[in-house]
Amino acid sequence: MQLLNRISPFNTFDPTHPLLSYVIRDVRGGRTPEGLGRYSTQAMWVVGALMFGGLALAVGLYDPYYPDTYYRYQAGLIYGIATVGVSIGFFIVADLVTLFYVAHAIRAEINRDVKFELLRTTTVDPQDYMASRLALGQVRAWRVYVILIGLRWLATLQAVLLALWGMVLLTIDGNWPSLSEWLQSDAIFYTAFFTLAVVIFLIMLLWEPIWRFRMLSTLAGSLATRIRPGFLMWTLLAGAYLLVALLQGALAAGVTTLGAWWSNLVFEHLLGSSEFQWEFRQQAGLVAGIVPYAVMPLVVWFAQARFSGWRVNVAERFIFMRRGDDS
Alpha helices in the chain (DSSP H): 2-6, 33-61, 71-89, 91-110, 113-120, 126-172, 179-183, 187-202, 208-226, 230-264, 278-319
What pLDDT is attached to residue 97?
92
CB 145 within 8 A of CB 135: no
Q: How far apart are CA 295 and CA 290, in angstroms?
A: 9
Q: How far apart are CA 130 and CA 207, in angstroms?
A: 24
pLDDT in tens, the chain (327 residues): 667 777 777 776 666 666 556 666 656 656 677 778 888 888 899 999 999 999 899 888 877 777 777 788 888 888 999 999 998 888 899 999 999 988 888 877 666 554 555 666 666 666 777 777 788 788 888 888 999 998 999 999 999 998 888 878 877 776 666 656 565 666 777 778 888 888 998 888 888 898 899 899 999 988 988 887 888 989 999 999 999 999 988 988 888 888 877 777 776 666 666 666 767 777 777 888 888 888 999 999 999 999 988 888 888 777 766 554 444
CB 283 within 8 A of CB 189: yes
DSSP letters of 92-111?
HHHHHHHHHHHHHHHHHHHT
Q: How far apart are CA 134 and CA 8, in angstroms?
A: 12
Question: What is the identity of the amino acid at 55?
Answer: L
With the C-alpha atoms ordered 137, 139, 144, 148, is the resulting torsion angle positive or negative? positive
Buried b or exposed e, range 185-223, using 16+ CB within 10 angstroms: eeeeeeeeeeeeeeebeebebeebbbbbbbbbbbbbbbb
Q: How far apart are CA 322 and CA 222, in angstroms?
A: 18
For the whole model, what pTM was predicted?
Answer: 0.82
What pLDDT is attached to residue 246?
93
What pLDDT is attached to residue 24?
64
What pLDDT is attached to residue 19?
57
What pLDDT is attached to residue 172?
76
Q: How far apart are CA 84 and CA 81, in angstroms?
A: 5
What pLDDT is attached to residue 326?
46
